[in-house]
Amino acid sequence: MTTTWAPVPAGSGFGLENLPYGVFRPADGSPRVGVRVGDHVLDLAAALGDPVFAAPSLNGFLARGRGEWQRVRAEIVGLLTDPASAAAGTAALHPLADVALQLPFAVADYVDFYASEHHATNLGRMFRPDSAALLPNWRHLPVGYHGRAGTVVVSGTPVVRPSGQRKAPSDEDPVFGPSVRLDIEAELGFVVGAGSDPGKPLGTSDFADHVFGVCLVNDWSARDIQAWEYVPLGPFLGKSFATSVSPWIVPLEALEAARIATPPQEPEPLPHLRDAEDWGLDIGLTVDLNGEPVSRPPYAQMYWSPAQMVAHMTSNGAPLRTGDLFASGTISGPGRDQRGSLIELTWNGAEPLRLADGSERTFLADGDLVTIRASAPASGGGRIDLGEVTGRIAPAPA
C-alpha cells in the first residue's frame, strides 16, 4: 500500500484512499478549500498554488468537470507520497482542532428522493393498512420532491424546532404551534459538479461525468406538520426548515470498492432508467441519539441507484447545475435495527425507544443530539470514513 509522509494515524478512515474535500476557516484566515488527511486539513490553495481553492466553496472547482477532478486527485496523492514535498506540504497542513468547518458548497437546487423499498413499505403499512404498501408508481420511477436549497446547513448547526399547522385525527380544527413529532431521516447525499444543458436528458451512464461525490444528510422532518399539509402536493413546511449535511464530500473515485448492484428491480425499469453500470453502494451508516447507537441503516439495500435518480431528474429536459444536491431518501433495511427514521423505529410512536439512561423517545425532544456516521469499503482493504453529520434540537422561538 502506498504510504504518505503526512501524519495519518493507523486505522484512520481518512488516508490516501479517501481524501474528501471540504471548506475550512483557519483561526487567522478566511474560508478556503481543503482535503482531509488523517486528523488534518491540507490547504489546497497553499499546497497546489491554484486560486480556485482560495474560495469559500467548492463550486468553482466542481464546475471544472471530471477530467480536472481526476487530475487534481492524482496531484494531491503525488504530493502526499513524495518525500521531497514533505516540508512544503507540512506547512499547508492544519490540525482539525484548530479550524472551523463550513458548508462545503453553495447549494443550487435540492431534491430529495424516496428510494428505499423498506422505508416506503413501512410508511405505507402505517398509513394505508388496508391498501398496498407501495403506491402503483413506486417500482417504475424514483419518487422525489423538490426541497429548499437555502435551508441546507452544515453539520453542527443547531436545528430549531419548527412551528406550523397540525391537525391530529381527533382534532376538529387545525392548530398552529411547535411540532410535537420532530423526526430524523438518515440519508446519503450526492453533489453535482458539472452541470448539463437544458432540454438534454442524461442517461444512467452519464452519472459519473456529472456527480462529484457524496455526503451524509439528515433530512429533519416534522411529521405532524407534514401529515396535515402533504396532500395533494407533497412535503413542504414539514421538511423545509433544515437539512443538515456533513462537511466532507467524498469523491466518487474513493467509492469504487463500494460499488454493487442494486437489489433486483421488478418490473424491469423502462429503458431510460436501466442502470448497467452498478451504481448501488455498499455503505454502512450508524445513527446515534444522545451518543447511543439506535440504528444501523444499510445503503446497499436501496432500491433505486443515484444514476437512476439523475436519469429521472433530467428525463423531462431539466438541467443539472453545479452545486445541486440530491439525497437518497431515508435509508432503511429489513431489520428493526436498520430503520433510518424514528417514525419507523417507534412505529409511529406506538413502540417507544428506551435509551440507556432510562428515558424513552417516540420523536425528538429539545436538547437531543443526533449524529449520523458512515463508512465504506476501501480499494486496498479496510474502510474509508464518510465522517458524520450532527444536529442538536433547539426549542422553538417563544
Q: Which residues are catalytic?
A: 119
Answer yes or no: are the C-beta atoms of 200 and 272 closer than 8 Å.
no
Direct distance between the N- and C-terminal alpha carbons of the chain, in angstroms, rounded to an integer: 57
The answer to whether 254 and 384 have CB atoms below 8 angstroms apart is: yes
Give the total residue count for the chain: 398
Q: Is the dihedral of CA 360, 364, 366, 368 positive or negative?
A: positive
Q: At a CB cut-off of 8 Å and minimum separation 6, what does 358 contact? A: none
Instruction: Record the cell numbers describing residue 257, joined without a space.
Output: 470498492
The single residue listed with the C-alpha cell 433530467 is 314
Give the Cα separation of 139 and 157 in Å (integer).
36
Give the single-character DSSP code of 249.
B
Nearest to 46 by CA among 25, 36, 32: 32
What is the grid cell recorded at 188? 446519503
Ramachandran assignment for 329, one of left (phi > 0), alpha (psi -120 to 50 degrees), beta (any other): left
Task: Label residue 113 exposed, middle or buried (CB < 10 Å: 0-12, 13-18, 19+).
Answer: buried
Nearest to 283 by CA among 383, 209, 190: 383
83, 297 contact by CB (below 8 A): no
Question: What is the Cα 236 distance to its own chain's centre?
Answer: 19
Is 233 buried (19+), middle (13-18) or exposed (0-12) by CB count in 10 A?
Answer: exposed
Tell me the C-alpha distance between 194 and 210, whole Å. 5
Cβ atoms of 221 and 341 closer than 8 Å = yes
In angstroms, the CA 4 to CA 8 distance is 8
Contacts of 156 (CB under 8 A, 6+ apart): 101, 390, 391
